[in-house]
Amino acid sequence: MTLANNLPTTHLWLILTESHTGKTRGMKARVMFCVTSVVLGASMLTACTDDNKKLAADAKLAQQAKASKAAAHAKISNAAAAKANEVGDIPVLMYHRIVAKPSVADDRTPAQFRAELERLATEGYVPVTAAEYVTGRINIPAGRHPVVITLDDSSPSQLTFTANGEPTPDSAAGIIRDVGARYPGFRPVATFYVIRDLFQLHESSQQRQALAWLATNGFEIGNHTKDHLDLSGKSQEQVTQQIAAGHALITGLGGPAPITLALPYGNTPRKPQWAATGRAGSTSYSNKGVFRAGYTPAASPFAARFDPLAIPRIRAGNSGGNCEQFCSQGWLDSLKQNPADRYTSDGAPDTIAVPAHKTEEVNKKLRAKVLAYKAT
């Protein structure tokens, strides 16, 4: 049998004929029938194997399609349950000094700063850095809302260290970390827009330590120019020199290269693109987001109306002039009363979840990622 299985049919016929000389013609016929059966059986077995493989492959594809459909349905159900709206407004809050006795409208007391952060935590806001916001890396739980906390001018009230190397309890960094510890869903991050008077630390080793601590603990270090020069009306050379100097200040002290810029006084250069990219000497910069000082929440980075070179920020405050309406308390009140206006996450960072009627509000370049659902 071994020989028969390994030789062609014609060879087998010759061997059997020569080995059985004098046998009847019927014997030859039976041998031929057996050989033919073996060959046909092998062909049929091959065909059956191929059919089985095809059936198995088809079944696997059908199973994968079913699983994919179920996963898509689950994502849509989750988005609907969360009332997700990822083209909604995002508050970008602007803070300056955190001091016990405020002397200007932009100052906040430690108690005021803490109270506003606690309000954000209880109302479902999750802080993201300015860089995460402008690049669309908003990875927060379903039903939650992103908020960007920014602190300008690198005041010592924002970051001062105790003897053991931790931020003092009443500094901005200390309060942010404490609120994060008390409210586990509140991510203790913010963006510090620094200038040359780095937290009034005069030794470069201390400045380096401060920036290293911020970066290690998840805070973003942003560019606010080196000298806090008003860039409106300045030449391109003056604008690029100031921004490049601020960039070099951070990287020269070992900090990560900043990709966001807060314009001093919120004033835009004659050509907004100067704030985005430029070079002075050996230092070049490329900012993904440029922040102004304004009076409205910012657009989602996925929205068609999002302008990365003119992002508004909301001044912190609750009283005085039109602040009740246009400062942080007023806008947080408004977003709470009109929840459909604010950005609400579906918890899936790979999609842009929106009610079906808001699909057209998504940037056309990003519509392949849209997950639309029928709002009830």
Whether residue 145 contacts residue 92, with contact meaning beta carbons closer than 8 Å, is answered with no
Per DSSP, the three-state class of 286 is strand
* Pair type for strands 260-262 and 370-373: unpaired
Residue 78 has a pLDDT of 95
Residue 44 has a pLDDT of 65
Average pLDDT value for residue range 192-218: 97
Average pLDDT value for residue range 265-273: 97
CA 186 to chain centre: 17
Residue carrying the six token digits 């071994």: 2
Residues near 232 by beta carbon (within 8 Å), at least 6 away in sequence: 265, 267, 268, 269, 270
pLDDT digits (tens, 9 = 90+) for 291-339: 999 889 999 999 999 999 999 999 999 877 788 889 999 999 999 999 9
Residue 139 has a pLDDT of 97
> What is the rounded CA–CA span in Å between residue 146 and residue 138?
7
> What is the rounded CA–CA span in Å between residue 238 and residue 183?
44
Q: What's the pLDDT band for 196 if we cut at 50, 70, 90?
A: very high
Per-chain mean pLDDT for the chain = 89
Residue 58 scores a pLDDT above 90: no
Q: What's the pLDDT band for 258 if we cut at 50, 70, 90?
A: very high
Residue 40 has a pLDDT of 52
Torsion-angle region of 184 (φ positive above 0: left; ψ -120 to 50: alpha; else: beta): alpha
Which of 9-18, 24-33, 90-99, 137-146 is least confident?
9-18
Q: Which residue has the higher pLDDT, 368 or 26?
A: 368
> What is the rounded CA–CA span in Å between residue 306 and residue 285?
21
Residue 82 scores a pLDDT above 60: yes
* Pair type for strands 145-152 and 314-315: unpaired
Side-chain-side CA neighbours of residue 164 (13 Å): 3
Residue 52 scores a pLDDT above 50: yes
Residue 349 has a pLDDT of 93
Residue 319 has a pLDDT of 76
- Identify the burial level of 215 via C-beta atoms within 10 angstroms of its C-beta, where 0-12 means exposed, 13-18 middle and 19 or more buried: middle
Residues near 12 by beta carbon (within 8 Å), at least 6 away in sequence: 3, 4, 31, 35
Residue 18 scores a pLDDT above 50: no
Q: Which residue has the higher pLDDT, 179 or 321?
A: 179
**What angle, 0 to 180 degrees and rounded to 10, lies between the N-to-C axes of helices 9-19 and 25-82?**
150
Cα dihedral 364/367/370/373 (nearest 10): 70
The β-bridge partners of 89 are 342
Whether residue 358 contacts residue 87, with contact meaning beta carbons closer than 8 Å, is answered with yes
> How is residue 171 annotated by DSSP?
S
> What is the rounded CA–CA span in Å between residue 192 and residue 137?
18
Q: What is the DSSP string of 49-64?
A: HHHHHHHHHHHHHHHH
Q: Which residue has the higher pLDDT, 122 or 60?
A: 122
Average pLDDT value for residue range 142-167: 97
Residue 31 scores a pLDDT above 90: no
Instruction: Calculate what percentage of the chain has a pLDDT beyond 90.
Output: 76
> What is the rounded CA–CA span in Å between residue 347 and residue 170?
33
Residue 9 has a pLDDT of 41
Average pLDDT value for residue range 353-360: 97
Residue 283 has a pLDDT of 98
Residue 241 scores a pLDDT above 70: yes
The reported pTM is 0.84
Per DSSP, the three-state class of 373 is strand
The β-bridge partners of 317 are none
Mark 289-301 as b/e (b = at least 16 C-beta within 10 Å).
Answer: bbbbbbeebbbbb
Residue 1 has a pLDDT of 44
Q: What's the pLDDT band for 125 if we cut at 50, 70, 90?
A: very high
* Pair type for strands 125-127 and 145-152: parallel
Residue 47 has a pLDDT of 67
Residue 322 has a pLDDT of 81
Residue 43 has a pLDDT of 65
Q: What's the pLDDT band for 48 if we cut at 50, 70, 90?
A: confident
> What is the rounded CA–CA span in Å between residue 238 and residue 236?
5
Residue 42 has a pLDDT of 60
Residue 45 has a pLDDT of 62
Residue 36 scores a pLDDT above 50: no
